[in-house]
Amino acid sequence: MVKNKYKSKVALVRCDTYDDEAVLKAVETGIELIGGMSRFVKANERILLKPNVLIGANPEKCITTHPAVFQAVGKILQQHSAIVSYGDSSGFGSCKLNMQRAKLKEIGDRFNFKLADFDKGKKVKHRDSLLVKSLVLANGVLESDGVVNLPKLKTHPLMRFTGAVKNMFGCIPGLLKGPYHAKLPDPYDFASMLVDINTFIRPRLCIMDGIIAMEGNGPRNGVPRQLNVLLLSDDPVALDAVACRIIGLDPGIVPTSIQGERAGLGTYHIENIEIFGDELESFIVNDFDVIRTAPGHCSTGRLRAFIKNRICERPVITDKIKCTKCGTCVSMCPVEPKAVDWHDGDKSVPPSYNYDRCIRCFCCQENCPTGAISIKTPILSNLLSRI
């Protein structure tokens, strides 16, 4: 456990609506609780807003950071004389198109936020990393003086939870995301890479949209769940830890929390976190639908593959009717030969899985446009967990 000289600050502010004025007031309150915006931003700095836009979608689907939160933070930054830009690298499609679909570009146009370049990037060295010594980061990130991270509170099959630390994966141009999954199949190695992105960029401030979160088959096809909370902190690990407490998930099993504390990015131990604003207990929902077991390690080799296939969660096309045979799962699979494919060549039926090839990155489930793919736990794993 990392010993902190001071406690990390996390603000919790109740907000039960996406009304623009209500959200603006809540964000202003939260920022003041942790020291005021002048603590994070100086006049004339180029500040990048990094929302969670997994794929451009109507905000009502709860996939993306809500426009009201995006707008509120951008307005406050402009009030402090910051030069605001924004962007995210989605699963597929251009940054501009996904921002349009998520209703963020119209806000950016209205308030003169600059759409940053997230489609191309440059390689940077990271000598103090946990694992990855060089990263390719989007030009829009590298051209900014600082980043304000705007994650959405959602479930995630690989990391169990996607929040502030995971959201920074969108700083890598989209076409390069798949290779990272292929090179780092172990969830703890993958989490180390996510932490390396965070320790290189060092977001100035993280503001999480938890007004309506996503439970179940997240991060794209889950169920919206009203939590009525905004979370704010300059410690992404502490922010995620408090969000985990709200949904009844032990942050000590979340790989990004474990590796984040190891790297000195922040703390997930509640005794090292000071909470401001509304009481944590007033937001806790213990029946939130989320995987509550720690992810297993994923390694190569026949014996390990044999064991993995019998105890590790796996993606399954559970709804053959929802499956449109669009091939998104096949195109998003980062391994060669493909773990999910039309292995018999018949594209009139849903694709099938070869689990010996599957690295459990869950890119197929994450990007399935219809929610036909779910995560299933083998019977043996359930028996072992009970024992």
| Cα–Cα dist 267/4, whole Å | 8
Instruction: Measure the CA angle with vertex 92, ends 86 and 93; round to 5°.
Output: 65
Domain total of the chain? 2
| Cα–Cα dist 142/210, whole Å | 28
Asked if residue 290 is part of any domain, the answer here is: no
Comparing C-alpha atoms, which of 361, 375, 374 is closest to residue 179?
361
| Cα–Cα dist 312/93, whole Å | 31
User: By the 8 A CB rule, do 271 and 4 touch?
Assistant: no
- Considering the domain architecture, whether residues 263 and 308 belong to the same structural domain is answered as no
Q: Tokens representing 339?
A: 């773990």
Q: 48 CB contacts (<8 Å, ≥6 apart)? A: 84, 85, 86, 87, 116, 140, 141, 144, 146, 147, 148
Q: Tokens representing 172?
A: 């890598």
Burial class of 349 by CB neighbour count within 10 A (0 to 12, 13 to 18, 19+):
exposed
Instruction: Measure the CA angle with vertex 245, ends 219 and 192; round to 5°.
Output: 60
Q: If you search the block for the tokens 């060669």, which residue do you land on?
A: 336
Q: If you search the block for the tokens 């024992």, which residue do you land on?
A: 387
CATH number of the domain residue 96 falls in: 3.40.50.11440
- Considering the domain architecture, whether residues 127 and 29 belong to the same structural domain is answered as yes
Which domain does 361 fall in, by range?
302-386
- The domain boundary, picked from 282, 310, 344, lies at 282
User: By the 8 A CB rule, do 164 and 239 touch?
Assistant: yes
CATH number of the domain residue 334 falls in: 3.30.70
Q: 296 CB contacts (<8 Å, ≥6 apart)? A: 187, 308, 311, 312
Tell me the pLDDT of the chain (387 aa) as tens digits.
444 457 999 999 999 999 999 999 999 999 999 999 999 999 999 999 999 999 999 999 999 999 999 999 999 999 999 999 999 999 788 999 999 999 999 999 999 999 999 999 999 999 999 999 999 999 999 999 999 999 999 999 999 999 999 999 999 998 888 889 899 999 999 999 999 999 999 999 999 999 999 999 999 999 999 999 999 999 999 999 999 999 999 999 999 999 999 999 999 999 999 999 999 999 999 999 999 999 987 655 555 555 566 667 899 999 999 999 999 999 999 999 999 999 999 999 999 999 999 999 999 999 999 999 999 987 655 554 554
- Considering the domain architecture, whether residues 231 and 365 belong to the same structural domain is answered as no
Query: Got the DSSP string for 166-233?
Result: HHGGGGS-GGGHHHHHHH--SHHHHHHHHHHHHHHH--SEEEEEEEEEEESSTTTS-EEEEEEEEEEE
| Cα–Cα dist 155/214, whole Å | 6
Asked if residue 287 is part of any domain, the answer here is: no
